[in-house]
Amino acid sequence: MSVNAPNIFLVPLAPLAAPLPAGGLLVIDAGIDWPRALASPDLKALCEHCPSPLYLRIEGLPDTAADHLAGLLGMGIDGIVLGACAGTAHLQHLETVLRVAEAQAGRTDGATPVMVELGGAPEAFLPPRPLASARLSAVIFNEDASFAGGMRALAQLMAAQAGKPFYVLSAGDRIARLASDP
């Protein structure tokens, strides 16, 4: 099966590099401290002027996640990359939080796509479970965060089972799509 997938560029939240890559989807890496992204003047300006789809990479879901996500969606963030995804339950938790955030931001339920980043949490693979979500748009495997070799094949299998594109995040914060389709 061939899946049409965009180029993805990962850039740090601060300082934002200029010029930003063009011709694909832009992922701003906010990491574990992602709620602070609401206060970033760079992110606000980027949301206002970026012609590319703009995703935010987050890690963790604090109790205030819905409020923070609502603010970010209101700023113009198009989608979320769930970094260090711990599997289906983690993805489902994000979906629940996103439903609340979308309602608060005035977006349609299910309008915010999600990519999952696998490799940093062993529970994402053990036992292996399919990633079932209508929001899921792609699976990213983080080679640098990988806790054990051999998990890349499992991540690729999970992407194939979901019928979604599979990307690899490697050294240098570069996300590259594998040549073979899921």
The CATH code belonging to domain 8-171 is 3.20.20.60
CB of 81 within 8 A of CB of 122? Answer: no
What is this structure's pTM?
A: 0.89
Using one digit for the tens of pLDDT, what is the confidence trace for 103-142? 999 999 999 999 999 988 888 887 777 898 999 999 999 8
Amino acid 64: pLDDT: 94
Amino acid 173: pLDDT: 54
Q: Which of 81, 25, 91 has its CA nearest to residue 57?
A: 81
Using one digit for the tens of pLDDT, what is the confidence trace for 158-180? 999 999 999 988 765 555 554 43
**End-to-end CA distance of the chain, in Å?**
6
E strand intervals along 32-126? 54-58, 79-82, 114-118
CB of 16 within 8 A of CB of 30? Answer: no
